[in-house]
């Protein structure tokens, strides 16, 4: 991969590309999608524009991975894959280290991000507001996939069960995170009759690693986190088992969804898709990092099916996909 200065590359990419305008003025079915998009085939994601003037084919592709931890960790982890992506598309590819979920969604919505892995909770917002077209997730060799939301505490916190959180603090990550906010909010309300503000004080750490480290260092008495992130941090010895106790584990949820901006040319979207499914994991930087929680391949999926449970959690929480 070319070691081009990030700011210069993004500036050049922006100069070379035209931002997507609104969908055709004629009526089009769109469901919950922003009015810039159409969904004629009913798969719940934005259609690729049929007007060639709305399509973009940038010389440099910008890739961003969901900000679950320090972006520097994942810039290294994704390096071999991005080299493969360059070879498959014939384009330069740059890793864009986003700091939060909202910034990542806005980057794609404004045309500054072409390929991304959005976290579980952000996928519906990215799909509906930014025209994100997810098509794959990571999975194990046997095709198994997903992660669980855990509520964790420190052994010396005095908390031994979820009910003990009442009257104290619970750390969330961000309001767009499934395991870091949406799922625990719905579960605490439905299973334990506990709501933020009434029964406990919610605090927001910004990212899963911040929450996990916060509990390990006793800055937070408890936190809701994705156990896939915890497992990778344990494998890297950033935290240790004796610093953390799990008091709740949820059902399995789909993990990060990967896909493209809707307005890339169909040929480019297909080339990117093919690159994901032709990538050989063995011996790569991607395998080194993500094998820590058992992932070994990219599995084809559909947003309509795989994110059904997440949309139901959002509905239970009264989440709207309205775009500002």
Are 168 and 139 found together in one domain? Answer: no
> Does 19 map to a domain?
yes
Q: What is the CATH number of the domain that holds 244?
A: 3.40.190.10
Per-position DSSP letters for 295-309, written without gaps between them = --EEEE--HHHHTHH
Q: What is the pLDDT of residue 322?
A: 78
Same domain, 22 and 138: yes
Are 125 and 42 in a shared domain?
yes
Q: Are residues 43 and 116 part of one domain? A: yes
Within this chain, do residues 192 and 235 fall inside the same structural domain, yes or no?
A: yes
Same-domain check for residues 19 and 111: yes
Q: pLDDT class for 26, splitting at 50, 70, 90?
A: low
101 in Cβ contact with 49 (< 8 Å): no
Q: Predicted confidence band at 319 (pLDDT cuts at 50, 70, 90)?
A: confident
Q: Determine the pLDDT at residue 6.
A: 43
Q: What is the mean pLDDT of residues 248-269?
A: 96
The pair of structure tokens assigned to 52 is 């060639």
Mean pLDDT in residue range 55-68: 95
Do residues 112 and 170 share a domain?
no
- Alpha helices, DSSP H only, in 17-143? 71-77, 79-89, 101-109, 123-130
Within this chain, do residues 276 and 154 fall inside the same structural domain, yes or no? no
Query: Is there a contact between 128 and 26 (Cβ–Cβ < 8 Å)?
Result: no
Contact between residue 168 and residue 201 where contact means Cβ atoms under 8 Å apart: yes
User: What pLDDT digit, counting tens, does each position of 169-220 carry?
Assistant: 999 999 989 999 999 999 999 999 999 999 999 999 999 999 999 999 999 9
**Within a domain: 303:** yes
Residue 266 in this model has a pLDDT that exceeds 70: yes
Within-domain flag for 1:
no
| Residue 214: domain span | 147-253
Q: Structural domain tally of the chain?
A: 2
Return the half-sphere exposure (C-beta side, CA atoms, 13 A cut-off) of residue 47: 17
* 79-108 tens-digit pLDDT: 999 999 999 999 999 999 998 889 999 999
Q: In terms of domains, do 127 and 14 share one?
A: yes
- pLDDT computed for residue 176 by the predictor: 87
Same domain, 19 and 133: yes
Q: What is the pLDDT of residue 73?
A: 81
């Amino acid at each position: 991969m070319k070691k081009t200065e990030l700011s210069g590359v993004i500036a050049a990419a922006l100069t070379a590309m035209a931002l997507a305008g609104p969908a055709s003025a004629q009526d089009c079915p769109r469901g919950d999608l922003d009015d810039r998009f159409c969904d004629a085939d009913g798969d719940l994601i934005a259609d690729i524009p049929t007007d060639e003037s709305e399509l973009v084919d940038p010389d440099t592709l910008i890739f961003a991975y969901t900000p679950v931890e320090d972006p520097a960790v994942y810039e290294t982890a994704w390096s071999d894959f991005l080299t493969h992506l360059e070879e498959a598309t014939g384009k330069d590819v740059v890793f864009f280290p986003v700091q939060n979920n909202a910034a990542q969604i806005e980057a794609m919505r404004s045309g500054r991000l072409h390929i991304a892995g959005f976290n579980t909770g952000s996928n519906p917002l990215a799909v509906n507001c930014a025209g994100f077209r997810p098509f794959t997730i990571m999975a194990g060799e046997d095709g198994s996939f997903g992660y669980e939301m855990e509520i964790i505490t420190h052994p010396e916190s005095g908390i031994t069960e979820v009910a003990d959180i009442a009257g104290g603090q619970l750390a969330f990550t961000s309001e767009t995170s499934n395991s870091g906010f949406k799922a625990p909010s719905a579960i605490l309300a439905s299973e334990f009759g506990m709501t933020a503000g009434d029964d406990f004080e919610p605090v927001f750490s910004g990212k899963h690693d911040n929450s996990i480290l916060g509990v390990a260092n006793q800055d937070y008495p408890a936190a809701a986190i994705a156990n896939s992130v915890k497992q990778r941090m344990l494998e890297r010895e950033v935290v240790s088992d004796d610093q953390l106790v799990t008091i709740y584990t949820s059902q399995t949820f789909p993990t990060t969804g990967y896909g493209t901006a809707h307005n890339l040319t169909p040929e480019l979207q297909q080339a990117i898709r093919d690159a994901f499914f032709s990538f050989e994991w063995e011996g790569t930087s991607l395998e080194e990092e993500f094998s820590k929680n058992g992932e070994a391949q990219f599995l084809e999926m559909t947003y309509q099916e795989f994110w059904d449970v997440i949309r139901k959690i959002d509905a239970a929480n009264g989440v709207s996909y309205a775009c500002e």
